């Protein structure tokens, strides 16, 4: 049996990709394109909206429709695309800076609105493109180029944020667990309403180098060891928990998405049912 490669969505001449050796973006991209293929996505019916950052440059590799936007605002652009044409598959690629730091407001409101887009958030715990500064997900005490004495702040749990904001589907995977990652993406893309997959990914060039994991392989080993199931995580002691994180599906709901609700409101408007 042959597996989906997703290569039909990839622009010719893009390999090897532009990202650093050891970067997880290539695996994340391959997982996403395989999911596209398995879902039978048509290029003209698919719009990939990207933010700014290493992962945000992905649109240059794609043969689907694409909209490369401004830093942090990709979800707001995507909301306009989807709200006007709900038939489109709208996929939003953002890093941790884009999604929950500069763009945090759009992130929680897209989830609250339950707009039917799929956000694929590549979390490498720092701003890779600009030289490895700390972001809104950099954990406390970690080192980056702007937290050389350790990070005094705490990092967001992106999945928890998406969940409490009302997302229909939330999962976390890593680029070490590539097959599961593709499955999460596939489920997220197939789920109506706001779906979010957090992809924990290595940035050996900056985050790893600053935090005793200079080699890409070391970072993959870190993902292999520290990313655990909900059940396994529950068995850890509290001090142990700090070094580990949960992967897997967190939320899988079927609440009506924005466009479904808007059509109901539209029907009411046509019946002349304004409150005032």
To other proteins, the closest distance from the beta carbon of 18 in angstroms equals: 11
For other proteins, the binding residues (CB under 8 A) are 11, 43-45, 47, 49, 52, 57, 59-60, 62-70, 73, 76-85, 87-88, 105-106, 109, 262, 265-266, 269-270, 274
User: Could you give the residue ranges of the DSSP H alpha helices within the chain?
Assistant: 25-39, 74-84, 96-97, 104-113, 158-165, 178-190, 209-210, 216-226, 230-234, 238-241, 258-270
Identity of the residue, 68 or 221, whose beta carbon is nearer to other proteins in the bound complex: 68
To other proteins, the closest distance from the beta carbon of 165 in angstroms equals: 11
To other proteins, the closest distance from the beta carbon of 85 in angstroms equals: 4
Identity of the residue, 66 or 223, whose beta carbon is nearer to other proteins in the bound complex: 66
Identity of the residue, 89 or 195, whose beta carbon is nearer to other proteins in the bound complex: 89
Identity of the residue, 179 or 262, whose beta carbon is nearer to other proteins in the bound complex: 262
Instruction: Return the HEC string of 76-140.
Output: HHHHHHHHHCCCCEEEEEEEHHHHHHHCHHHHHHHHHHCCCCEEEEEECCEECCCCCEECCCCCC
Round to the nearest angstrom and report the end-to-end CA distance of the chain.
61
To other proteins, the closest distance from the beta carbon of 222 in angstroms equals: 32
| Assigned token pair, 199 | 């992809």
Quickly tell me which residue has 């990914």 as its tokens: 201
To other proteins, the closest distance from the beta carbon of 224 in angstroms equals: 34
Identity of the residue, 66 or 175, whose beta carbon is nearer to other proteins in the bound complex: 66
């Amino acid at each position: 049996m042959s597996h989906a490669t997703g290569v039909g969505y990839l622009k010719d001449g893009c390999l090897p990709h532009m990202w650093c050796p050891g970067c997880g973006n290539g695996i994340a991209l391959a997982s996403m394109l395989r999911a596209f293929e398995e879902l039978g996505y048509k290029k003209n019916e698919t719009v990939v909206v990207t933010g700014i950052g290493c992962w945000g440059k992905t649109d240059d590799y794609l043969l689907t429709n694409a909209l490369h936007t401004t830093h942090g605002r990709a979800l707001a652009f995507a909301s306009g695309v989807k709200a006007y044409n709900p038939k489109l598959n709208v996929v939003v690629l953002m890093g941790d800076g884009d999604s929950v730091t500069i763009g945090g407001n759009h992130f929680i409101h897209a989830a609250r609105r339950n707009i039917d887009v799929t956000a694929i958030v590549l979390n490498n715990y720092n701003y890779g493109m600009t030289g490895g500064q700390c972001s809104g997900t950099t954990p406390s005490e970690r080192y980056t180029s702007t937290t050389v004495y350790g990070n005094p702040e705490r990092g967001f749990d992106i999945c928890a944020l998406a969940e409490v904001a009302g997302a229909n589907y939330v999962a976390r995977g890593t680029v070490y667990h590539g097959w599961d990652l593709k499955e999460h993406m596939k489920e997220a893309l197939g789920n109506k309403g706001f779906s979010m997959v957090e992809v924990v990914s290595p940035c050996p060039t900056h985050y790893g180098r600053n935090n005793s994991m200079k080699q890409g392989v070391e970072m993959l080993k870190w993902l292999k060891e520290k990313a655990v199931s909900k059940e396994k995580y529950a068995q850890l002691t509290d001090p142990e928990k700090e070094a580990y994180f949960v992967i897997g599906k967190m939320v899988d709901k079927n609440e009506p998405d924005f466009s479904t609700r808007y059509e109901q409101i539209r029907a009411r408007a046509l019946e002349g049912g304004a409150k005032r």
